[in-house]
Amino acid sequence: MAFLAKMFNSVGNLHHRLPTAVNRLPALITAALFLSGTALAAGPSFDCAAAKTPTERAICADPKLADQDREVARLYGQVLTQAGTDVAALVGEQRRWLATRDRLCQGPAKPTSPLTVGWPTEAECLSQTMILRQAALTALSKGEGDPSFCPRASMTLTLARTADDAPLQIPLDRQMIAAGLVVPAPEEKLSPAWRHRLPAAAVRRRGDAIAIIPFGSSHVAVTATGGTADCVSVTAFPLEANGKAGPALPRPENRAQPYCWTETVGFGTDGGGRPLFFTQNANSVRAKAGPERSTLFIRLARKDRWGDSCNLEVTYQAAYRLGEGTCIASAPVCQALRQAAPIWAATLGASPWVAEGPFHPAGGPAYPALSNLTPQETDGAGPEGTYDVPDFPGWHYRGLSAFEMSSPLMTWQSPDGPLTVRIAPGTVGWRVGAMILGVWQGQGDSLTPVAGYVIDQVRVGHPSIKTVSSVQIY
């Protein structure tokens, strides 16, 4: 990130190129106050003629992003005037957020990182990141300067809404990262230098992959991934003055099991640069009907022990919405299919068949009756190709390669005649709570795919948040 050499060469660029020295803070506040006024009635908070980074150029090219950037700058100027002696901490948090935003939306990790799945375009990534930063700054303002993580995180999740007043669909830990409240630490390979600095037991092979994660300036974590579920175990160590790791810290949570399936886990810092551990757990990997419940757990690290903790239990109401996919049938068929698919998913999601889990032994709950669908008489997976997710030009499915084995083939009397349908829960990349729909048309003795869709379980309404925090006094 480039920083200003002269404070007022371009006042707008202060939002993107923050000073590093505390003795420049008065000038920063003056500039921020300028930005929060009416001097910049349109466009972003910086001079597009001087835009240098890909992020700046993307914001300048999109009026919506420009408006969001200007609002972030306005809110930032507002909270700076309320910061009092915490100005330096807020400046540091804003600087870290800018770097994180650029890494999430422009960095080399974007196409594959689980932090960025769900943002198919750069513009969507930037837009939602700025929505979350606006919420975090507004929460700080409404909190009357209270920077405590738990209340601010809770208010940020409540305030973060899209333009049509819908909640964001990305996981809670990613919302904290995109808002600037958590900065994830990058992983490193287990180098000879790290092997020398860590206790022998810490780097003994415990799985398929071991990663080293220095977080803050005083701690390092070792993660080991292995098993069919890619479960992750974690151990954290304080770093001594000589750079070597001291005795392992206790487990940050009261559990001995690794983190698997719907759980994500990481290390990093809070917006102020303090080292922390974070994890998120969703209530189900399957698209079951009912509220979506997720838990976000944050724990700050002291030098040789864990300190303050924050536990957010967040509940959203949920609904089914047609997501990514393609239909190459006739227009009436495609329209009827798009209307029926969410209804089928809602009925299936509310059924005991889904609630029972992914394995359906004989005598278990029956697959539910779905409107206008008739079960076919098949033995096993059905004709070749109907067990796999449809694969045809125009749609490349990136989730698991097959439907659940016990999901039946159905006949749908479409506007153009009978078609074969299969619908079942599935997993799309790193997302959970999705269903997969495949549609085929008979051609002689074979079936040809004509449609395939992901049906997402999405959050609706405002969240209900239960906050549990503990403050350690030393």
Residues 234-290 pLDDT 10s: 999 999 999 999 999 999 998 888 898 778 899 999 988 999 999 998 777 677 788
Out of 24-33, 75-84, 248-257, pick the least confident: 24-33
User: Average pLDDT of 9-38?
Assistant: 40
Q: What is the reported pLDDT for 126?
A: 94
pLDDT-derived band at 395 (thresholds 50, 70, 90) equals confident
Q: What is the reported pLDDT for 29?
A: 42
User: Average pLDDT of 128-152?
Assistant: 86
For helices 87-106 and 172-179, what crossing angle results, to 10°? 120
Q: What is the reported pLDDT for 94?
A: 95
| Whether residue 228 has pLDDT greater than 70 | no
Which range, 94-98, 104-108, 169-173, is most confident?
94-98
Which range, 17-31, 219-233, 372-386, 411-425, is most confident?
411-425
Q: What is the reported pLDDT for 400?
A: 66
Q: What is the reported pLDDT for 20?
A: 37
Sort 376 into a burial class: Cβ within 10 Å, 0-12 / 13-18 / 19+: middle
Phi, psi dihedral angles at 265 (to 5 degrees): -145, 145
The closest alpha carbon to 88, from 146, 24, 139, belongs to 24
User: Average pLDDT of 37-47?
Assistant: 66
pLDDT-derived band at 390 (thresholds 50, 70, 90) equals confident
| Whether residue 164 has pLDDT greater than 70 | yes
| Residue extents of the structural domains in the chain | 11-175, 192-317+461-470, 320-458
Q: What is the reported pLDDT for 146?
A: 55
| Digit-coded pLDDT (tens) for 413-456 | 999 999 999 999 876 665 666 889 999 998 767 889 999 999 98
> Taking the CB of residue 150, how many other CB atoms lie within 10 A of it?
20
CB 439 within 8 A of CB 326: no
Greater confidence, 366 or 378? 366
pLDDT-derived band at 362 (thresholds 50, 70, 90) equals confident
CA 12 to chain centre: 30
pLDDT-derived band at 474 (thresholds 50, 70, 90) equals very low
Output helix, strand, coil percentages for the chain, rounded to the nearest 5. 30, 30, 40
Q: What is the reported pLDDT for 441?
A: 92
Q: What is the reported pLDDT for 203?
A: 81
User: Average pLDDT of 94-107?
Assistant: 88
Greater confidence, 103 or 268? 268
Q: Extract the tokens encoding 385.
A: 């190709």
